[in-house]
Structures are given as structure tokens and as C-alpha cells.
Amino acid sequence: MSDKSVKSAGFPAQRRPKEPRSAWLNGLSGHLGAIALVATATVLCEQARPYLSPINMVMAYLLAVVLAAVRLGRKPAMLAALLGVLAFDFFFVPPRFSFTIADKEYLITFLALFTVGMVISSLVAKAGERLEALRLRERHTVSLYQLSQSLAAAADTPDVLAAVIKNIEQSLGAELAVFLPAEGRVVAAAASAGLALEKTELEVADWCFHSRRMAGRGTESYSAGEFTYVPLKALADTLGVLGIRLQAAEDPGSPQTRRLLDAFATQTAMALERVRLFREAQEAHMLKARQNLERALLNSISHDLRTPLAAITGALSAVLDEGDKLRPSSRAELLETAREEAARLNRFVGNLLDMTRLEAGALRLKLEPCDVQDLVGCALAAVEKRLGDREVQVRLAPALPLVPLDLVLMIQVVVNLLDNALKYAPAEGRLEIACYCGDGWLCIEVADSGPGVPEPELARIFDKFYRTPVPEGVGGTGLGLSICKGIVEAHGGSIRAENRSGGGLKIIVKVPQGAPLQEVDHGC
């Protein structure tokens, strides 16, 4: 995008900003001060005239020139030197009160006075300018140091932008905005408090971003505005634009200010680049970790699928190949093994399908009034063959009301909780089921007498594919409790786990006691 094209799009004609009125007033006051110093020197010399020769009065005018150079600047000091020569000639060189010179030797005195005054004013003015430049450089160095410290502590893009806004406002007393790219154009991502940006300023910032060149006040491009725009360059990329509205006394076109703005832009670009690279490194690390996890889960699922299939295949092959040679009890045992493994495989595939439905948001609840006793009875009947010698203690609060539930899904929740308890309960251990209502909630508790779960792992047991490391050798896919969580939350309830004081794990399910009796579409 060229300068010409932007002008034709409605930008105002480029022109240099007018000299600030305050600068003109400062110059006038300096010259008036020089006149006052010469007048004061003349009055003092007049008072001392009876006691001093005219040649000695020259020192008073030299002192006025030095004071003008130190306090008022170069031009007032030069004016003081010229006026000092004229005043000395008019008031003290014979004949007095005229510019006629009787003794031509005074011409050398005039020349020496004027020359020494000019040299002194130049030297003092240069020393003052050098001192001011050193102060300005020190202030700029401190500003950059403070900005670098703030940016080093910034952890993300908002922190970087806040640090840039705060430090530049404090160091330059300026207003600024940081523009970042979004959908092919730049937008104001952060700005000084109360700063309003017009459409024209956004368009100039966009031009600066795409051209990678400075624009605005103090530059050759779009200098009519009040902002100076500096691109934030990082290697071959442009990360954004820094727009600064300096004070009227600041000249953005001066080499010192230009270098400072470039340094601010470089520091900001480096911080944004660091945040971007750190974010990309984190994403790459997470992607790698996710790939490793998916690979491990795939291996785990493959093993869990192959184990029951191998058992079923082996049992049925033995029955088919050695059917006539097997005793009836052995044949029945093999067939029972095949049936148990087929049921195990069916539960595993069912869990995978249920988890897929939950993640796809395809779970639909069919709520209807349910008897809690029927819910517990159906769940116990489903796991009866796997209970073995374990004792199941059921405690139901008296007069439990009908609760609106999706009975099929809630039976699956209780079955999964019982399956989980069976994995960790001892062969002769005890399972406990308790149901009661309170504060508008139906609470279902399933507890076992196993080893429990380490405290740091309690919050993770409902994660997908997660299995506790203790005890070792316990099978499973790590989907059962995750499915329970999805179904319970679909009912508007909650599920949590805690270790029992006497040993074992207790899982508490809470669902609303008065949910609406209608079909609910739940997207997880």
C-alpha cells in the first residue's frame, strides 16, 4: 500500500506541524532576559564609574554574557555579547552617550569583548547541551532498563502489553496504543486509559504494519497526525505496531527520540516473539504428550480387546477340537469361561460406545419417576454372578420418594460403581450400598473394603482411561467411572470419591430429587 493510494482514500494532505507557541514564548523570554542582564551590568558599571577605568568595566559585560549562556542559551548569549559592546561604547567610552569613538584603540577592546563573549557563549552553550544530552540519554537508558525488567517478568501477551503501556507512559509522559494483527488487519490490543482511536489512525497503523516502515508525526509518511507509528519487527515477521503520541515539546524526528522509539519497539517485539515461541513450544509439548498418551491408550485398548477374544477363541477351539474327549464338567467349564469373557468384552465395547456418545453430545435422557429400590435391585442382579463370596450390605432410607431418572442409564452408573468396587474388594470382603434423600438431592453411596486410593489420585479417578496404580495387576479400561461422571452430570448431579476411615473407597452420587419429568437432550 503506497502513500499515494492512502491519500486518495481520504487521508488529509501531509504537512509539517506548526511550531508550538510555547517554544516561541521561551525564545522571546530568553532574549528579554539577555537585555535585562546587559541593562543590569550597565547600571552597576555606572555606579562604579568614579572608581574604575572604562577598560575594567568590560568584565561586567563578560559576566552578563556568561550568565546568559548558562541560564538562557546560545542565542540570548550572543545577543548579550552584541548589546554589551554597544552599551559599553555608548555609556562609557569617551565621548559618552554617542557611538563616536575618540580613541581608536577602543576598537580592539570592542572586538575582544565581542569575540570573547561569542566564544564564551558558544562554549557554555555546548557544555549545557552536552549535559542535557547526557541527562536525556540517562533517562532513556533507565527507561529501557525498566522496560526490559518488566518484559522479562511478563508471562503472556496481555502482561507484555500492560508492561509496555505502563513503562512508556511513565518514561515519556506519552499516550500510546499497541496494535496486533487479526484477520489480515491490525486492531488496538491495548492502549492508554481514555485514549480514543479514530478510523484514520487504524488505517495508518495498518499501513505501517504491512510496509514495515515508520509513519506518522516526525516521519515522511502521514506526518499530519499526532501519532508516531513504529513497526514491531522480529526477523522476517512483523508482530504488530507501536503507536505513540508524544508531548508537544518532544520531536519524534530527532535522532535521539528516533533511537529511543526503535529501542522500545525492539524490546516489545522481542517480548512478543518470546511469548509466541513459548506458547508454540508448549503446544508442541502437549501435542507430543497427547500422541504418547494416545499411543499408550491404543496399546491398552488393544490388549483389553485381545485378552477376552483370545480366551473365547481358546475355549471354543478346545470344545470343537476335543469335544468328544472332554469330560462334561470340563466342557461346561470351558463354555462358561467363553461366556464370561464374551460378557466382559461386551461390557468393554459398551463402555467405549457410551463414552463416544457422551463426548459427541448424543446422550438423551428419558426421565421418569423411578423407585430407588428397583434401581438398586436391577444393578445387583446385573453383577450377581461376579459377586462370588462377597457380602453386599444394602441400606435404603425408609419411605424414599420416586425420583425422576433415566432408569437405564442410572442402572449402568450403579453397575459401573459395583464393578469398580469388585476389582478392589478382597475375595471375602464386603460391599455397601446406601441410598437416602436430603436437601432436595438423592444420594447413592457405593463403598468397598479394598485398599482405597492415594489422596493425590482421588481427583483423577473420574478421568477417561485413568487407572490407579495401587494395587498392581487390576484390569480394566479406565472408562467406567468416567462414564458414571458423564451420566450423573447429564442428570444435573455430581459425583465424588473419598477414602473411608476404616479402609476402602466410597463413591457418592448426588442427583436432583425434583428434576423435571421430561426428555432432556444433553450435550457433553
CATH of the domain at 206: 3.30.450.40
Q: Which residues are within 8 A (CB) of 471 and not within 5 positions of it... i.e. 6 or more apart? A: 424, 450, 451
224 and 127 together in one domain: no
Same domain, 164 and 202: yes
In a domain, 144, yes or no: no
Q: At what angle do helices 407-424 and 372-387 cross, to 10 degrees?
A: 40
263 and 374 both lie in a single domain: no
**472: burial class by Cβ within 10 Å (0-12, 13-18, 19+)?**
exposed
State how far the Cα of 70 lies from the Cα of 66, in Å rounded to an integer: 6
Question: What is the pLDDT, as a whole number, of residue 82?
Answer: 82
Pair (114, 163) in one structural domain: no
Residue 296 counted as domain residue: no
Comparing CA positions, the residue from 16, 13, 114, 25 lying closest to residue 61 is 114
Question: Residues with Cβ < 8 Å from 330, sequence gap 6 or more?
Answer: none
Asked whether 228 and 194 are in contact (CB, 8 A), the reply is no
What pLDDT was estimated at residue 521?
Answer: 46
Cα 238 to Cα 176, 191, 232, distances in angstroms: 18, 19, 6
Flag whether 320 is in a domain: no
pLDDT at 445: 93
What is residue 310's DSSP assignment? H
Task: Look at residue 375 and tell me if it is in a domain.
Answer: yes
3-class DSSP state of 394 = strand
Q: Cα–Cα distance between 52 and 58 in angstroms, integer?
A: 11
Residue 341 lies inside a defined structural domain of this protein:
no
pLDDT score of 444: 93
pLDDT at residue number 273: 87
Cα distance between residue 437 and residue 450, in whole Å: 27
Question: How many Å from the N-terminal Cα to the C-terminal Cα in the chain?
Answer: 48
- Residue 295 maps to a domain: no
146 in any annotated domain: no
Residues 119, 165 within the same domain: no
Q: What is the dihedral of CA 311, 317, 322, 327, to 10 degrees?
A: 40
Whole-number pLDDT of residue 170: 80
- Of the three residues 227, 262, 279, the one that is the final residue of a domain is 279
Do the beta carbons of residue 403 and residue 376 sit within 8 Å?
Answer: no
Look up the pTM and report it: 0.47
Alpha-carbon distances, residue 439 vs 90, 244, 298, 433, 490 (angstroms): 107, 60, 43, 20, 20
Domain count, the chain: 3
Burial of 280 (0-12, 13-18, 19+ CB in 10 A): exposed
Cα–Cα nearest to 354, from 507, 468, 522, 486:
486
For 172, 216, 239, the CA distances from 220, given in Å and listed in that order, are 22, 8, 22
Supply the pLDDT for residue 508: 92
Both 191 and 258 in one domain: the answer is yes
From 136, 166, 185, give the residue that closes a domain: 136
**Do residue 398 and residue 516 come from a single domain?**
yes
Residue 442: which domain range? 363-522
Mean pLDDT value across the chain:
78
pLDDT at position 373: 92
Look up the CATH number of the domain holding residue 475: 3.30.565.10
**pLDDT 10s digits, 240-264:** 999 988 887 677 777 878 888 888 8
Residues 125 and 219 in one domain: no
3-state secondary structure 25-93: HHHHHHHHHHHHHHHHHHHHHHHHCCCCCHHHHHHHHHHHHHHHHHHCCHHHHHHHHHHHHHHHHHHHC
In this structure, is residue 354 part of a structural domain? no
pLDDT of residue 520: 43
Question: Which residue type, as a one-letter code, is found at position 521?
Answer: D
pLDDT of residue 17: 41
**Residue 518 has what pLDDT?**
42
Residues 241 and 131 grouped into a single domain: no
Residues 402 and 455 in one domain: yes
Which parts of the chain register pLDDT below 70?
1-27, 102, 136, 249, 293-294, 296-304, 323, 347, 350-363, 465-478, 515-524
Torsion of CA 24, 30, 32, 33, to 10 degrees: 160
The answer to whether residues 191 and 70 belong to one domain is: no
Q: Do 400 and 442 reside in the same domain of the chain?
A: yes
